[in-house]
Structure 1
Amino acid sequence: MKTLQIIVTIAWRNLWRNKVRSGVVVLAMTMGIWACIFLAGFSVGMNDQRTDSALSTYVGFAQVHANGWEDERSVELLIPNLEEVIAKSQEIPGYVAHASRLVETGMAASSYGALGVQVQGVDPAMDTLVYDLQTRLIEGEFLPESRRVPRAYVGESLAEELKLEVGSKFQVTLQDVSGYATQALFRVGGIFKTVSSQYDKSTILIRREDMAGLIGVDPSAAHEIVYKISSKEQAIVWAGELSSAFPNAEVMSWKEVSPELGYADDMMATSLYIFIGIIIMAISFGILNTMLMAILERRRELGMLMAVGMNKRRTFFMVMIETIFLGAVGAPIGILVGHLSLIWSGVNGFDLSSVGEGLNAYGMDAIVYPSAVPEYYLGIAVIVVVMTLLFSLYPAYKSIRLNPVQAIRSV
C-alpha cells in the first residue's frame, strides 16, 4: 500500500513539473469532450426542433382516419363513427385537444399558373388548439369570416408560385362525393410561412363549412381527426390504446403518420456516434504523440527511477496513473465547458439564415437552438478517458523498454 502511495505521489509531481506539456494534454481532453458534448447537443436540439415544428404545424401527435384512407384517400372515406371516436379519445390519459378536418387533394389555379395542392377544411377555433399555423401568419388574417367570396389561408411558397397576395382571387378544383369535378373561387385571406417550404407550397386551408359545401358532405363530417397529446412519447401509447378500442379505424401516432421523423432520430444517433468517434480518435492520436514526447524528454528521469529500484511494472503503472490524473483533470473541465456552451447557445441560438432555404427544404428552422444533453456527458467523458488510457499504453511500454544506464547518460 505504501509503494502504491509513493508511485501515485511521484506520478502527480511528475505531471506538474512540466506544466506546459501537461496543460496541452488536459486542453486536448477538454476540447475533445467539449466538442463531443456540443455536437451531441446541437444535433439533438436541431432534430427535436424539426420534430416539434412538424408536430405542431402539420403532422399532429396522432391522427384518426376511416379504414383504407392510407391506401386510397378517397373523398368518400369519411369517419363513420366520428362522435364516438372523439368521446373515447378524450378518456385516454394524455389527451390535450383535437380538431376534425376535411382533406382532399386538388388543384389551385391563378392567371399565372396552376399547382397540385392539398386542401384542408378546418374549424379555426378547434384547429388552433392542435396546430400553431395561426402563429405563422406573415400577412393578412387567419381564415377570417367572409360574406361573399370565401377566404383561404395559403403558404408563402404557393403565393409566390401563383403570384398571389392578400385579397387576390384564385380558383380551387376538387372532386365531390359524386365523383364530379367541382370548382370554387377563393380570396387569399392570409399568407403563412412555416419551417417547411414544401408544406407551404402544397397546402391551402379553408373553412370546414366552405369545403363541405364544395364537395357535397355534411359540415359535421370529417376525413381525419388530429390530436395534440401531452408528449411525443405518450402519443405512441395513446394511439395504441385508441386503436385497440376502434380496430376498424386507422389510428396512427406521429411516427406512423410521418415515418421520416422517426428515421431522422435513428440517423442522427448513428451519424452522431460516427462524428464523436472521429473526434475522439483525433484527440487520442494527439495525446499519444504528446505522451511519446514526454517519455523521450524524461528518459534520464525514468532511468534514475529504475536504477534506484523501481521495476518495470511500477514504471509502467506510474505512466498509466499520470494519464488517469490528466483525465481526472480534463474530463470535469470539458463537461463543464460543454454544458455551459449548450446552456448559452440554447438561449441565444445559432442563426443559420445563410443556408435557411436549404434547411427549410428539410423542415428545419433557420435558427437552431442546441439542447443540454446530460445523459451524454458521463459517457462521452468516460470514452475519451478510456481511449486516452489505451493510447497511452504504447508510451508506457516504451518507458519500460529503456535501458537504465543508457537513459541516465542521455542528455
Structure 2
Amino acid sequence: MNTLKMTIVIAWRNLWRSKVRSAVVVLAMAVGIWAGIFLSGFSLGMNEQRTDSALSTYLGYAQVHPNGWSEEPLVNLFIPNLKEVEEASKQIPDYVAHTSRLNITGMASSARGSAGVMISGIDPARDTLVCDLNTRLVEGEYFPPSERVSYAYVGTALAEKLKLQLGDWITFDFQNVDGYSAGSRYYIAGMFKTVSSAYDKSTVQVLRSDLTRDIEAQEGVAHEIIYKLADKESSREWAEKLSAEFPDLEVESWQEVSPELGYADDMMAVSLYIFIGIILFAITFGILNTMLMAILERKRELGMLMAIGMNKRRTFGMIVLETLFLGTVGAPVGILLGHLTIVSTASTGMDLSSVGEGLNAYGMDSIVYPVPVPDYYFGIALMVVVMTLLASLYPAFKALKLNPVEAIRSV
C-alpha cells in the first residue's frame, strides 16, 4: 500500500515539474470537452424546440386517419367510426384533448399568383386545445364570429408568395367528394408565422363547416384526428393501445408520422460521442507528445531509479498514472465549464436571428435554448480515461526499454 501511495505521489509531482507544458495539455482537453458538451447541449436544445414546436403547432402527439390515407389521401376517404374513436380515445390514460379535421389538397390563387396548398378545415374551439396556431398570428383575429364570410388563415410565407394582405380574397380550387372540380373564395382574416417556413408556405386554415360545405360532404365527417397527450414520450405506447381497439384505422404516434423528428434525438446522442471522440483523439497526440518529452528529459533520472531497484512494473505504473492524471484533471474542468455555460444560456437563449430564415426552413426557431446533458457526463469521463490510458501505453513501454547504465550516462 505504501509503495502504491509513493508511486502516486511521485507521478503527481513529476507531472507538474513542467507546469506550462502540463497546463497547456490540460487546458486543451478542458476546452475541447467544453466545446463538445456545449455544442451537444445547443444541438439537443435546438432539436427539442423544433420537436415541441411541431407537436404544438400542427403535428400533435398522435394522429388517426382512415385506412389507406397514407398511400393516397382521397377527398372522400373519411374516418368511418369517428364518434366511436373519439369516445374510446378519451378512456386511454394520458389523454388530454383532441380535434378532428378535414384535410384536402388544392390550388390557392390570388390576382398575383398561385400555389399548391393543404387546406385544413378545423373547429377553432377544439383545435386551440391541441394546437397553438392561434397564438402565432401576426395579423388579424382568430376566427371572429361571422355568418356571411368564409375566413381563411394563411402563413406569412404564402402571403408573401401570392402578395396577399389582410382583407384580400383568395380562391381555392379542389375536388369535391364526387371527384368533380370545385372552388370557393375566402376572406383573408389573419396571417400566422411559425418556426417552419415550409409549413407557413403550404398550409391554409379554414372552418371545418365551410370546407364541409365546399366539398359537398355530410356534416360531421373528418379525415384525421389529432391528439394532445400528457407526455410526448408515451405517445407511441398510447397510439398502440388505440390501434389495438381500431385495427382498421391508421393510428400513428408523432414519431411515426414524422420519423425524422423521432430519429433526431438518437442521432444527436451518437453525434455527441463521435464529436467528443474526435476531440479526444486529437488531444491524445498532445498527451503522447508531452509524455514522450517528459521521458526524454528525465531519461537520466529514470535510469537512476531503475539502477537503485525500481522494477519495471512500478516504472510502467508511474508513467501510466502521470498520463491518467492529465485526463482526470482536464476532464472535470471541461465538463464543469460546459455544464455552467449551458445552464447560463438555457434561460436567456442564444439569438441567431442573423440566420433565422435558414433555421426556419428546417423548422427551427431563431432563438435557441441549450439544454443540460448530464446523462452523457459519465460516458465522456469514461472516454477520457480510455483515451488517456491508450496514450500512456507507448511512453510507458518506451520507458521500460531504457538501459539504466546508458540512461545514467546520458546528458
Q: Which TM bucket (shorter chain)?
A: over 0.9
In the alignment, structure 1 residue 338 sits paired with structure 2 residue 338: yes
The CA distance in 2 between the partners of 1:329 and 1:263, in whole Å, is 35
Q: What do the CA deviations read for 1:275-296 (whole angstroms, capped 9, x no partner)?
A: 2221121111121112222222
In the alignment, structure 1 residue 177 sits paired with structure 2 residue 181: no
Structure 2 contact 156–200 (Cα < 8 Å) conserved:
yes
Once the 2 structures are TM-superposed, how far is the Cα of residue 257 of structure 1 from its aligned partner?
1.1
Structure 2 contact 324–392 (Cα < 8 Å) conserved:
no
The CA distance in 2 between the partners of 1:203 and 1:377, in whole Å, is 42
The CA distance in 1 between the partners of 2:8 and 2:100, in whole Å, is 70
Please give the residue correspondences for 1:14-29 in structure 2 after superposition, counting only pairs within 5 Å: 14-29=14-29
Structure 1 contact 40–376 (Cα < 8 Å) conserved:
no
Structure 1 contact 342–372 (Cα < 8 Å) conserved:
yes
In the alignment, structure 1 residue 72 sits paired with structure 2 residue 72: yes
What does residue 60 of structure 1 align with? Answer: 60
Superposition CA RMSD, Å: 1.7
Q: Which amino acid aligns with 1:402?
A: L
Q: Which moved more, 1:46-55 or 1:29-38?
A: 29-38
In the alignment, structure 1 residue 408 sits paired with structure 2 residue 380: no
Q: Which amino acid aligns with 1:153?
A: Y
What does residue 189 of structure 2 align with? Answer: 189
Please give the residue correspondences for 1:134-283 in structure 2 after superposition, counting only pairs within 5 Å: 134-283=134-283
Q: What do the CA deviations read for 1:49-92 (whole angstroms, capped 9, x no partner)?
A: 22111111121110111122112211111112111111110111
Once the 2 structures are TM-superposed, how far is the Cα of residue 227 of structure 1 from its aligned partner?
0.3
Q: Which moved more, 1:366-375 or 1:24-33?
A: 24-33
Structure 1 contact 302–404 (Cα < 8 Å) conserved:
yes
Q: What do the CA deviations read for 1:304-351 (whole angstroms, capped 9, x no partner)?
A: 222222122211111111222233322222221111111112222222
Once the 2 structures are TM-superposed, how far is the Cα of residue 15 of structure 1 from its aligned partner?
2.2
The CA distance in 1 between the partners of 2:289 and 2:148, in whole Å, is 78
The CA distance in 2 between the partners of 1:178 and 1:223, in whole Å, is 16
Structure 1 contact 32–334 (Cα < 8 Å) conserved:
yes
Change (3 A) 1:348 1:293: farther
SS at match of 1:146: coil
The CA distance in 2 between the partners of 1:301 and 1:344, in whole Å, is 47
Q: What do the CA deviations read for 1:222-272 (whole angstroms, capped 9, x no partner)?
A: 111100112222110000000000111111111121122223334434443
Structure 1 contact 103–121 (Cα < 8 Å) conserved:
yes
The CA distance in 2 between the partners of 1:93 and 1:295, in whole Å, is 65
SS at match of 2:309: coil
Q: What do the CA deviations read for 1:123-166 (whole angstroms, capped 9, x no partner)?
A: 11111111111121111122223342211110011000100011
Structure 2 contact 40–268 (Cα < 8 Å) conserved:
no
The CA distance in 1 between the partners of 2:355 and 2:271, in whole Å, is 21
Q: Which amino acid aligns with 1:144?
A: P
Q: Which runs of 5+ in 1 are unaligned?
A: none
Q: Which amino acid aligns with 1:343?
A: V
What does residue 108 of structure 1 align with? Answer: 108
Once the 2 structures are TM-superposed, how far is the Cα of residue 4 of structure 1 from its aligned partner?
1.6
Identity percentage over the alignment?
65
The CA distance in 2 between the partners of 1:266 and 1:325, in whole Å, is 32
Please give the residue correspondences for 1:288-367 in structure 2 after superposition, counting only pairs within 5 Å: 288-367=288-367
In the alignment, structure 1 residue 373 sits paired with structure 2 residue 348: no
SS at match of 1:158: helix
Q: What do the CA deviations read for 1:330-385 (whole angstroms, capped 9, x no partner)?
A: 22222211111111122222222222222222111222222111110110111022
Q: Which amino acid aligns with 1:76?
A: N
Q: What do the CA deviations read for 1:105-130 (whole angstroms, capped 9, x no partner)?
A: 11110011111100001111111111
TM-score, structure 1 as length reference: 0.95
SS at match of 1:10: helix
SS at match of 2:121: strand
In the alignment, structure 1 residue 388 sits paired with structure 2 residue 388: yes
- Corresponding pairs, count: 411
Q: Which runs of 5+ in 2 are unaligned?
A: none
Structure 1 contact 37–380 (Cα < 8 Å) conserved:
no
What does residue 3 of structure 2 align with? Answer: 3
